[in-house]
Structure 1
Amino acid sequence: MFTRQDLQDAILHITHPTFEEVALMVFKWQAIQNPLYSQYLSYLGVSSTQVTTLSDIPFLPISFFKNHTVLSAAPKIQTTFESSGTTGSQTSRHHVSDLGWYDQISTRIFETTYGELTNYHLLALLPSYLERNNSSLVYMVQQFIAQTRSPFSGFFLHNTDELLKVLQQIVRQADGRKIILWGVTFALLDLAESGRYKASEDLRDFSGLIVMETGGMKGRRREMLREEVHQILTEAFNVKVIHSEYGMTELLSQSYSEGEGIFEMSATMRILLRDINDPRTVYAPPDTKLRYGGINVIDLANIDSCAFIETQDLGRFIGQTGTQFEVIGRFDNSDIRGCNLLL
């Protein structure tokens, strides 16, 4: 039987062709080491010996993170991340036993897509997340900010005037670094619609900005189509495209979109789609039998919780590479969540 260290080593050296082999290793380990997942498999009448492909793997409904402790091999818990939610709603809790592992995976995913963090100034406009003290997104961005080693990088709660001043300083300095404005959607829209960015003489003709939206209105604004949001933001910030991050409390891996809402699956994450009427029927990319389906996520970074999550998001595969997907909505009556999702 594999050890946790064996799995970590395999995950760190994973390639697209070896993903399925490593995922099956993680499945067989968690089928034994995760009591909740093991019991779930037993209720479904599934033996680990029956699982030979990714599509055979049963996925744990994401709601289990609300009502149960999801842990593999009973590790010591370093911290617990908690999801956002509407007032009075029950939130998900993701127990994390190795923050260094989360740091390593999230940094590696980001830098694979965008290059070294030291090439950036990172300005974070995440008011709804900063108002909580257990957000996985805030923790991750905080680590990224530290790694930029920039005196300008930092969080901005509601003080957008200060954010604009910092942006102006960076543009005037022109040190060759790129700028990322990483924000929750409603806060980016508030800033965009205020007209203050566009009105600034220093910023009006500046196009060297990456705007990274995390999705979520948090009940602050009406839900909007992604195309509508991106049109407002591209015009206001004078950029060609809006970037996006797909992640959630229950996952330690992320995927990024460099425009048009098309996400590239990261090395440790694979998206599968399930039939909306038959959740046990699962399709792996680039299978196009489904026009769209429920998103199942394999997150191999989730060694210490559960790597196989049935989300409440709807999505579809894009292209024939088998590595791209789009998030197109949410199941009816599912919770309003804080992950990256524009209806």
Structure 2
Amino acid sequence: MLTDVFTLAQAEKEERLRGELIGLMAHHRRNCPPYDRILAALGAETEPATLADLPWLPVRLFKTRKLASVPDDEVIRVLTSSGTTGQVSRIHLDREAAATQSRMLARTLGAVLGPRRLPMIVVDRSGVVGDRRSYSARGAGALGMVNFGRDHLWLLDADDRPDVAALKDFLARHGDAPFLIFGFTFMVWRYLYEVARDHGLDLSQGILVHSGGWKKLADQAVDNAEFRRRFAADSGLTRIHNFYGMVEQIGTVFLEGPEGGALYCPDFADVIIRDPETWREAPVGTPGLVEVLSTLPTSYPGNVLLTEDVGVVHGVDDGHWPGKRFSVVGRLPRAEARGCSDTYAGGRS
């Protein structure tokens, strides 16, 4: 199976994506009347000259409008985001879209996990997955990741407490060879790092994939660099990959490279950083609003989305993988808190 999706230099990627995204824009206009009306009101061009000219939707629109490009009877799964105000995005997937997002997620993560399924620690409780037709973002994240592992240990018990004895048993059986760890960032810190530190556990063979939840860690003066430093110093864990993604572009993840410190775009996706005053693309090194582009959404018009996150591009074609290197540095002021573990307070959600 092909696993390497970090291959295209930026110019080649932009040319390829532009053609595919123009085709998807036409597809959604034919099959999603509300989307067609939005683009008509915007006076959107049918053949934008660059990626930056493609019309974007504000990601919040999925919280207030049903936007689907397939009939209701073809929808097999509805994903919901993790909002804190009662409003949640609802993302409608048909069978083809669900299969594609699973396949491309596997190819993306294969770049750091390899082709073989590894023994796996999930820093959550098994009940988070819930209903098999409708998932929260937290449940969808856990369900999407468990497919990459085997001999799973769900670290939290039914009362959301870490099962230290089970963790020690897992490490006794699997800790001398590579194993996979997945969780949302704050939960990984609270329920894995602190337990490993306090009990002197060796996680040096682990590969950690994590996302979200930086707000609570920022309150503890723990940024990405400190997170990595403390894990290495106190548990031996050094293979750590943060990722950025959202339920509105399910299956698309922007992955931290092996060197740490920056996120990369897979070949089927890209980011544009926009100046919040002019809406033009911001130059390298200048923070702005993060726009995410992906060819994966086919059952709903989520290909070009303006988020409420603030990010910055650090460089282009100058890192471990080709394309843009970028970071997400915060949220737009007054924007709703985002991410399952930002709202996780130790109880059921």
The residue aligned with 1:71 is 68
Whether the 8 Å contact between 1:192 and 1:236 is mirrored in structure 2 is no
Superposed, 1:192-203 pairs within 5 Å as 194=194, 196-200=195-199, 203=201
Change beyond 3 A, Cα 1:340–1:241: farther
Aligned residue among 38, 41, 45 for 1:40: 38
Following TM superposition, by how much is the alpha carbon of 1:55 offset from its aligned partner in structure 2, in angstroms? 1.2
1:100 maps to 2:96: no
Change beyond 3 A, Cα 1:193–1:121: closer
Change beyond 3 A, Cα 1:236–1:213: farther
Whether the 8 Å contact between 2:123 and 2:183 is mirrored in structure 1 is yes
1:329 maps to 2:330: yes
Q: Distance in 2 between matches of 1:339 and 1:84?
A: 6
1:59 maps to 2:56: yes
Q: Distance in 2 between matches of 1:263 and 1:44?
A: 31
Whether the 8 Å contact between 1:214 and 1:339 is mirrored in structure 2 is no
Following TM superposition, by how much is the alpha carbon of 1:219 offset from its aligned partner in structure 2, in angstroms? 7.2
Q: Secondary structure at the match of 2:86?
A: coil
Superposed, 1:81-100 pairs within 5 Å as 81-86=79-84, 88-98=85-95, 99-100=98-99
Q: How many residues were matched structurally?
A: 317
Give ranges in structure 2 of 5+ residues lacking alignment. Answer: 318-322, 343-349
Whether the 8 Å contact between 1:247 and 1:339 is mirrored in structure 2 is no
The residue aligned with 1:319 is 315
Q: Return 137-146 or 319-328, whichever deviates more.
A: 137-146
The residue aligned with 1:110 is 109
Q: Deviations over 1:269-312 (max 9, x none)?
A: 21111111123x236xxx52x61211111121111112111101
Change beyond 3 A, Cα 1:19–1:165: farther
Q: Secondary structure at the match of 2:75?
A: coil
Q: Distance in 1 between matches of 2:21 and 2:296?
A: 10
Superposed, 1:212-223 pairs within 5 Å as 212-216=209-213, 222=219
Change beyond 3 A, Cα 1:121–1:242: same
Aligned residue among 22, 25, 36 for 2:23: 25
Q: Deviations over 1:219-250 (max 9, x none)?
A: 79947544444444444433236321211111
Identify which of structures 1 and 2 has the higher relative contact order when contacts are C-alpha pairs closer than 8 Å and 6+ apart.
2
Percent of matched pairs sharing the same residue = 19
Q: Distance in 2 between matches of 1:127 and 1:161?
A: 9
Q: Distance in 2 between matches of 1:175 and 1:187?
A: 21
2:17 counterpart letter in structure 1: F
Aligned residue among 290, 301, 309 for 1:295: 290
Q: Distance in 1 between matches of 2:129 and 2:76?
A: 21
Q: How does the TM-score come out when normalised to structure 2?
A: 0.78
1:135 maps to 2:131: no
Q: Distance in 2 between matches of 1:144 and 1:182?
A: 7
Superposed, 1:219-234 pairs within 5 Å as 222=219, 225-234=223-232
The residue aligned with 1:125 is 123
The residue aligned with 1:265 is 265
Whether the 8 Å contact between 1:272 and 1:296 is mirrored in structure 2 is yes
Q: Distance in 2 between matches of 1:73 and 1:174?
A: 44
Q: Deviations over 1:152-186 (max 9, x none)?
A: 44463555542x43443343335864222212222
Change beyond 3 A, Cα 1:193–1:172: closer
1:30 counterpart letter in structure 2: H
Give ranges in structure 1 of 5+ residues lacking alignment. Answer: 1-12
